[in-house]
Every structure is written in structure tokens, then in C-alpha cells.
Amino acid sequence: MGYQSRTIKQVLPDINDSVFLPAIQREFVWDTEQIVQLFDSVLREYPIGSFIFWNINGDFADNQIKYYFVRNHIEDSIYPDEFDNVHHRNPKVPEYEQIPDSISLVVDGQQRLSSFYIGLQGTYVEKQKYRQRKNPDAWTRKQLYLNLLSNPNNQTEDHLKLRYDFRFKEPDPTQSSENYWFRVGDILEIDTLEKAMTRANEIADEIEGISDAEEHYILKNLTTLYNAVHARDIVNFYEEGNQDNERILDIFVRANEGGTQLSKSEILLSIATSYWASDDENPIDAKEEINTFVGNLNQTYVDEGYDFGSDFVLKSLLVVSNLSAEYQIRTFTHENLALMKEIWADGVVQDAIESTIELISDFGITGRSLTSRNALIPLVFYFYHNGTPSLTTDSQLGVQVRPRILEWLCSALLNSNFNSRPDQIIEDARDAIKDAEDSEFPLERIQREIRTRGKAVGFNREIIEDLFEETDYNSTKIYLLLSVLYYPDPALDDSHEVDHIFPRSLLEKDNLIENYGFEPSKAERYASLRDHVANLQLIEENQSKGDRAFDEWISTRSDQYYDRHHIPTDERLYELENFPEFIARREEMLQDQIISTFN
């Protein structure tokens, strides 16, 4: 059918009316910065790429799985239940929905078209940092605005390099002599250039003391926005009319595989969705089912903050299907896809994944200490291969297997075994688990295989010394490294935080010089040890220690506290002057504890 061109204003009314998304498309994933950059590019008349529309009709169109574009996007999949008009994922079009006989499915260009839809007619809902996702007050609903008083000839000095000052803001933002925020969606109601110029003059009259230059900025910004939305053919799209799923899937893969916008896992999920849905006897919407499963999983463990994605489930499905763990398009043959569909429909792999997550939650491993989700794939296969056995702490098998799994998992995560060539390790572990007997977890063989890959395993003295040298308060591994010190005590959770034993404020270099008379070189040496592992512990958030002097605070602790946190009992070490000696002594105790626990 060839290429066509339309304005943004002409395309918008068709979105979710006769223009939808096919099942092979991924979710909307752009953030506000990407949306803002797109609008800036459009106003600067930069090319934004072409689109591919798949035009279909009749029964073929009716039988296709279709998704709506997101209009009110919320940036997290977990949010308050009362938010009923926002979406993190594209909602599925119900089978009973009345849609036109002829429709278009956007095969390439979803992120850009969705951004126009959200920026002009929708909202973007953002969560405030450090607030609970289920708390309605943690969220802010924003709309896209353009500062008409900004100089479009100047480029911002930040990483966005914008000429047009677009920002997502709460409705009705405060205006000032420097900022006049025009809601971008209001441009849709201005249907001629003359009206745009008139509106610019009205806005200029509203602002007291406006300069001639600022009056020009208002006119320039508003008319440029008008032309971008109403006058220029921004949406250049190729129309594909062949009603052939295989052909459109091939177009989709070729359009995306060579670029960076889609990950391989997203492409492969699209392939699975296409093939599973084409089964006349038992069609399954892979995208819908896997994303729903992931959403429920994250919802169940919302406090742990795992935030699993479809890629984790997809790789688990590959591994339990005894296929290559690596994402390769050639793996997704008709035969392999049929096998994966059969396994998914059986429900056993879902049980194995849920058992794996339940186990690591019992261990106290949360999202902040789970530095690689790939490390869980062998555990998923263990549960799947052995019929999802019960590993409770009061079961015979649990008593035997749980410590071995925890030791391997802690070793793999702390030694960064999955930072490179993770698929090889996953397949090695799968082979070892298949050869093991009686639901055994083959710790020794898996570690031997990892060692042959040139990676560190276990916790000998040399490995621990390296871990202590490379891990400090700011490391992503610190929570997990500290948590292994408390094994086999009850699992820790997010009510615990990493705490400095000798207070941070005390060990500030300037504080040591000004208030304790330290020489600069000595103060710097003490300050360099402040964030050392040996000066850290895990305590409950409500155990307020504040910045009390350590020797004063520690005197209030019980003997059990000393034992639990591996604190030296020599009171001489609690004096500030002896802080380096305290670090050396406690480091030795911590290393001994890890070695005795896991070796």
C-alpha cells in the first residue's frame, strides 16, 4: 500500500477507535524525559522516524489479539487499588468490544504514538521517591506543559539539550514572570494559525511588564506548537495490507532486531505471543498471561521489592523446556514454541517460580540484595525438575537442602558469578540438577562447574578478603554480605537497615580535625574506614541509635547483642582513638563467622 502521511491531530482521534496495538508489541516503556525529547524534536522539525501500520479487516481483524494504547500511564506496575483509570501495561481489547470492521495495528512506532497520546490527551503518574507504592499520596498525576516564556533559540545545558521547555507538571501550575506554563493538550482546541496567534497575544496581555522579546517568545513557541500538531505531516507511515501473521511477525522482528529499542526478550515474547495465539484448538495470549503472572508475583511480594519482569519468566520457561538459556531467535521454532506452550499451560513452571520466590523471601533476600535475577533460574529448574518439593524448615528435605541452596545463592551473588556469560552457568547448573538423585541440590558439582569457568566460588579466606575490600556501605552487595553474618537466625527483611556502628557523623574528616584535634592525615585515615564492612551491621529501623558516642551506646546492649552482631567485647576498642584496631578485630571476627558458617 506504500507510504502515507498525516498530522498528529489527524491521527489522535483514531487511537483506540480504529488504531490499536498487535499482540506482538511490547508495553509502553518510555519515561517523561523521552516524551519531552520527542516533542522537542518535533518542534525543531527533526525527523522522528517512520511508522508501520498493519491494515486488516473482517474475521481476520476480529480474531487478532489487540491492545489499547495507554492514555493515563503510571510508571510502576504496583499502585493503589483505587487508581482505576491508570495503566502501567497496555490493556487488552475485550473480545466483545465493538470495533470497526477495518482496523490498523501499529507494528512499529508504539512508543512515539503513545507519547503523543499521553502528552496531548493523557497524564503521566509518577511516584515520589522513598514512598510506599500502595500509598495514594505517594503518587503525582502530571500533564505535559510548555513554558511559553522560554527562549526557543537557547539550548538547555543539561543532558536533554532542549530548545523548547517541555515539562510534566501537576495541573494548573503556578505562573510567574519567568514561566508561563501552557498545557500542551490545549493546542488541540486551537484549530487555525490565526487563533494560535490571537491566543499568544492574549497570553502576553495577561503578563505584567512583559518585554518585546518575551512577547516574541510566546508567539514563536505557541505557533510552532500549533504547526507541529495541526499543520505538518509528522506521522509518516508505511501501510501493510497482507493478512499474514508470519509476514507481519517477520517485518516486526526485522524492524526491531537491528536497533536498540527492543530487547531480545521482548522480541521473543512477541514471537511466542504470535504463535501461541494462532493455535486454533487452544489459543493462549502469552503476553497477557506472562505479564499477569509477573504482576501478581510482584504484588504478592511488594514489600520485598523484587520487580520481576517478563524476561525472568521467559528465561525460566526456556530452561525448564531444556532449550538454550540464551535468547536466540533461532530457538523459537514451531516445535519449541509448542513445547513451551504445553509446559506453560500445565502450570508447573509457574508453581516452580512461586516456590523459588517464596524460598528466597524466607531467606531474607529482598530486591536490594538480589543483585542478579539470573541466579534464581537454576532454583526454578530445581523445583520444576523435582516436582516442586516442600522445603519447609520442619521438613526432612528442607533441613537438608535449604542450607545448600542458601550457600550456593549467597556465593553466586556475592562473587558476581552471573555478571558475565550467565547462560553457561545456568545450563551447567541445569545439567547438574538433572543428574542429582533424590531431590538433592548438587552444590559441590555446580560450584565445580562455575570454578572451571574461571569464576570464584565459596567463601575461603582469600575470597572473603577480596569481598571485604571491594564492598562497603555504598555497594549493591552490602546488604547481602551483612545478612549472611546472621545465618541461620530467622530471615531478615526490609525492616532492617544498614547501620554504622561508630556513627558516620563522628568519623567525618572535618569533625575529627575540628572537635577531636586529629592531624589531617590521621583524620583522613579514620574517615576512610568509616564505611568499611567491619563498621556496619543490620539493625531494625526502630532501634534508634542516632549519633550517640559508641562507647556510651554499646554499654546499654545485652550479651545477646554482642553475639548476634559479632562485636568485640574488649571495651578498650570502643574508644575513638582505637577505631582502626576495632575495625581490624571485627573484620577478623566477621571473616571467621562466614568461613565457619559456609565451610
pLDDT tens profile 439-450: 999 999 999 999
- Which residue in this structure is represented by grid cell 502530571? 142
Overall pTM surpassing 0.85 (yes/no): no
- Which residue in this structure is represented by grid cell 489499547? 68
Which has more confidence, 143 or 131? 143
| Residue 111 confidence (pLDDT) | 93
Q: Is the pLDDT of residue 259 over 90?
A: no
Is 286:276 a contact under the CB 8 Å cutoff? yes
Identify the weakest region by mean pLDDT among 192-201, 343-352, 411-420: 411-420
Is 474:449 a contact under the CB 8 Å cutoff? no
Q: Is the pLDDT of residue 103 over 50?
A: yes
> What number is the average pLDDT over the span 477-506?
76
Q: How far is residue 537 CA from its own chain's centroid?
A: 28
Q: Is the pLDDT of residue 2 over 90?
A: no
Q: Is the pLDDT of residue 344 over 50?
A: yes
Residue 56, CB half-sphere, CA atoms under 13 Å: how many? 23
| Residue 547 confidence (pLDDT) | 59
Is 382:388 a contact under the CB 8 Å cutoff? no
The span from the CA of 88 to the CA of 74, in Å, is 5
Amino acid (one-letter) located at 537: Q
CA angle 291, 429, 489 (to 5 degrees): 80
> What number is the average pLDDT over the span 65-86?
93
Q: Is the pLDDT of residue 528 over 50?
A: yes
| Residue 491 confidence (pLDDT) | 43
Three-class SS state of 254: helix
> What number is the average pLDDT over the span 399-411?
90
The span from the CA of 196 to the CA of 152, in Å, is 17
Query: What count of residues does the chain have?
Result: 599
pLDDT tens per residue, range 21-72: 998 887 898 999 999 999 999 999 999 999 999 999 998 888 888 999 999 9
Q: Which three cell numbers stand for residue 505?
A: 557523623
Q: Is the pLDDT of residue 190 over 70?
A: yes
Q: What is the DSSP letter of 231?
A: I
| Residue 258 confidence (pLDDT) | 44
Mean residue pLDDT of the chain comes to: 90
pLDDT tens per residue, range 368-392: 889 899 999 999 999 999 999 999 9
- Which residue in this structure is represented by grid cell 493538550? 185
Is 21:27 a contact under the CB 8 Å cutoff? no
